[in-house]
Every structure is written in structure tokens, then in C-alpha cells.
Amino acid sequence: MDSTTRTTPAVSVYAGTVRSDRAACFTLQNDLQVVVIQDHRTPVVTQMIWYKVGSADEPPGKSGLAHFLEHLMFKGTSKHPADEFSKAVLRASGYQNAFTGFDFTSYFHHVPREHLGKMMEFEADRMTGLVLKDENVLSERDVVLEEFNMRVANHPGNRLAEQMMAALYLNHPYGHPIIAWRQEIEKLTREDALAFYRRFYAPNNAILIVAGDVATKEMRSMVKETFGGIPAQPSIPKERLRPQEPPPAAQRRVTLADARVEQPALRRYYLVPSTRSAAAGEGPALEVLEQLMGGGINSYLYLSLVVEKQLAVTARASYHSAALDPSLFEISVIPKPGANLSLIERCIDEVIAGIARNPASAEDLQRAKTRLTAQVAYAQDSQELLAHWYGRALTTGLCIEDVQRWPDDIRAVGAPQVHEAARIWLDKKRAVTGYLVKESTPQHWETL
């Protein structure tokens, strides 16, 4: 199963917006929220269930628990033993996967339409019927440890991202890696997993999204029959409250040197509002700023670093808009061989200072907004993508109307708003700058 990480290139949580006549929402009496996205072009469906719990909701000292439980959810129930669910998906010529983020855990299946009812029964059963045995838990913990080795320990770029997130978030649990700190993975137990499961896996903490060749009326009946009898978990609070960040007071730096680095890199993370935590208009302004700065070959960073100064192979910016709490704006540059990272950093600062001093031209602004809103049309061809974006939005505190209004919000952004977003949020006191460099000095273990 895949875990979601902040190093993945960001795409707007709203980019999958669909016409309002294709998305409907209803809620069962047990507070399970259901979204139906109709797409009758092919007789297939995507079912996704999103739980409003992620790594940022883990108890202190138990990092990685949400992701660990994601793996264990495939171990079977008393009604359906291990592998029965997975084998049923394969027999239906479908596929499945799952992923964990800071704010959510999601499980999805893509199958021919006639198999949807069975998939829904399986999913409802494991919402409350998970059975875990010590031997299964311990072996799966070893799988997670191996995933940690592959994704983090043996991947210098991801290790840099891990260290930068820990430096950016001084108090908020977003500073803890989704996959965990290794020493805490090693101590996770069956009891930890079951306690987390019983606390958070319930209909009133879940969103079921069905996209594809279905009708809303039919789904109301099917979902009610399948999930309606599962009781809500009354201890789940209506609002998730986490420790928040203090006002940033100083810029921070992280340098990771590793002998395995073949390609140096420079990154910068700014602490900025997410769409959910931003004031009115700030989220769309940051989205447009992302496009202006690093959204392609016409972006300011690319023109400066790649085309004009020829210091870099690529340069991009990413605004991670989908988060329950304040998120990050990322700048990433891959230098040309031999290029000086300090010089590249100064060039980045010059580009940001230019945006903060001079509002973007009408032509540049329109190009950025067109690139963003064009994603709406492209997303129509992927029911999985549509379900994914609705799930990310709804699990991070937004609503259907926010998703559907997104193109209009982007079109309404003016140059002064982008100028103000750069001036306020791209302040180096709010940032961590990271250098990834090749270690030239032998490590102590290499000399033994």
C-alpha cells in the first residue's frame, strides 16, 4: 500500500472539480457522508472510503500508527478471512490500493459496475470487524520497516524532506513523518493498532465516494442497506483540534550530506495557510502564485534559473493546499552540475522580491489562471482522480460547494492579491531552506 507524503508534486485539491449535476451528496443517520459522482461512459466504478484520521492524529510516541493500521486493514475479519477481499477484487478484474496522509486514510477499489455491491459489503464489514493476530501484526510491522528503508533511509531526497518538515513544524504534528520515526515503528503493537482502529474507524468519521456508472437514487438504497446498520462512535469529536504553530521568528536551514547523492538539490519550505485555514481569497491567491513562480517553462523561477542564468536543470513551486491546518509552499530546484547552491538561493530570493515589489502583468496572471482552470477539463476523463480530489477536500474541512466553486475563485484572483500573498507569506522567517549535497568525507563506518 502507498503512503501519501509531502514530497509528492502538489496538484490543487480543487483541480478535479466537476459540474454540479454530476456530483451529489447525502448523509446516513449514523453520519456517514456519501458522495456520488455519475459517469456513464463505461460500466466501471471507483469506490473510495476516506477516514478523517491520519498521521497528525496519532498519540505522542506512536508515529506511523495510522499508516501501520492501513496495512493491517487487509488482514481480514471474522466474516471474511485474510486475502478474501483482495482475491474478490482480482476475480472481478479490478484493482485496489490504500494510502495514508497527514489528515486522512483512504482505501479504494476500481471494479466493473456489477461488483460494486460486493465491494461495498467487504468495506462495511472491515469498518468494524477487523481481526488481528500477533503473528500477522509483527510480520506486517517488518513490511512497514522495509518500506521505511526503501522510501526514507535509502533515499537521501526523502530524508532531506523528513528533516525539513521537522524543522518547519516546531509544535504541530505535521512535523512527524507519515511513515514514522523508525524507533517508534519498531515498538508498535497489536494493541496500539486495535485501539486506534476502535477510536477512529466509524461511519461518523468516514466519507464514502462512489464514482462511475451509478445513479444517486440507487446508491442511496445500496449504501443505506450496507452501511446503515453500523453504529456511530459517539466519542469522535466534531472537530479535530491539534497543537498549533507559534508565530515564526527565524529562518532555518538544513543540510543533508550523503555519499549516495548523485544529484544535489535545493528546496525551500514556507509555512503558509492551507485552503481550509486561509482567510477568504488567500488560498486561490497562493495557487496562482504557485503557477506564476514555478508552474512550467514560462514561470518566473524557470525563466530566471534555467533559461537566463542557466544555473539549473529545473525549477518549480508547489502549494500544498489540501490540509486541515497550516500547510506549506515549496520551491524545488535541481542545479546544473557544478552550480553553486548559494548563488541559486540568492536568485530565488530575487525572484520572490520582484513579485513582492511589482504586481504580475495581466498577461502572466491570465496565463497562470488558465493553466489552473484547464485542469478542470482534463480531470473529467478520470473518475478515480475526481473521487480522489473530492476525498482530499472533504477530509480536510471543505465541502462540495468549495470544490465546485474553485474555478470561479481562481478567475477572481487579481494581481494585488498575488502580490500581497508573496509579500506576507514568502518571508524567510517563515521558511526552512534545505541543501542536499554529496558527502565527500568518508563516514566513520567506511574506515573500519
Is 70 part of the annotated catalytic residue set? Answer: yes
Q: Which pLDDT score is estimated for 251?
A: 96
Question: What are the distances in angstroms from CA 448 to CA 286, 438, 441?
Answer: 51, 21, 14
pLDDT of 317 over the 50 cut: yes
pLDDT per position as a tens digit, 409-430: 999 999 999 999 999 999 999 9
Least confident of 48-52, 61-65, 164-168, 376-380: 376-380
Q: Which pLDDT score is estimated for 345?
A: 97
Q: What is the mean pLDDT of residues 277-306?
A: 97
- Arithmetic mean of pLDDT over the chain: 93
CB 152 within 8 A of CB 260: no
Catalytic one of 58, 70, 123, 282? 70
pLDDT of 71 over the 80 cut: yes
**What residue type is 197 in one-letter code?**
Y
Q: What is the mean pLDDT of residues 321-342?
A: 97
Q: Which of 1, 75, 4 is nearest to 395 (CA)?
A: 4
The burial class, CB within 10 Å (0-12 / 13-18 / 19+), for 57 is: buried
pTM of the model: 0.92
Q: What is the mean pLDDT of residues 230-257?
A: 96
Q: What is the mean pLDDT of residues 146-169?
A: 97
**Quick one: 44 and 186 in the same domain?**
yes
Categorize the per-residue pLDDT at 1 as very low, low, confident or very high, splitting at 50, 70 and 90.
Answer: low
Higher-confidence residue: 376 or 197?
A: 197
**Quick one: 173 and 133 in the same domain?**
yes
What CATH number did the domain enclosing 118 receive? 3.30.830.10
CB 156 within 8 A of CB 260: yes
**Quick one: 113 and 164 in the same domain?**
yes
Is residue 329, in this structure, part of any structural domain at all? Answer: yes
pLDDT of 224 over the 70 cut: yes
Categorize the per-residue pLDDT at 376 as very low, low, confident or very high, splitting at 50, 70 and 90.
Answer: confident
Residue the block writes with cell 502564485: 289
| 162: containing domain | 20-227
Is residue 289, in this structure, part of any structural domain at all? Answer: yes
**Quick one: 263 and 325 in the same domain?**
yes
pLDDT per position as a tens digit, 201-221: 999 999 999 999 999 999 999
**Half-sphere exposure of 143 toward its Cβ, with a 13 Å CA cutoff?**
15
pLDDT of 4 over the 90 cut: no
**Quick one: 114 and 210 in the same domain?**
yes
pLDDT of 401 over the 50 cut: yes
Q: Which pLDDT score is estimated for 299?
A: 97
Number of domains making up the chain: 2
Is residue 156, in this structure, part of any structural domain at all? Answer: yes
Question: What are the distances in angstroms from CA 248 to CA 37, 245, 348, 431, 435?
Answer: 41, 8, 20, 8, 21
Is residue 247, in this structure, part of any structural domain at all? Answer: no
pLDDT per position as a tens digit, 345-371: 999 999 999 999 998 999 999 999 999
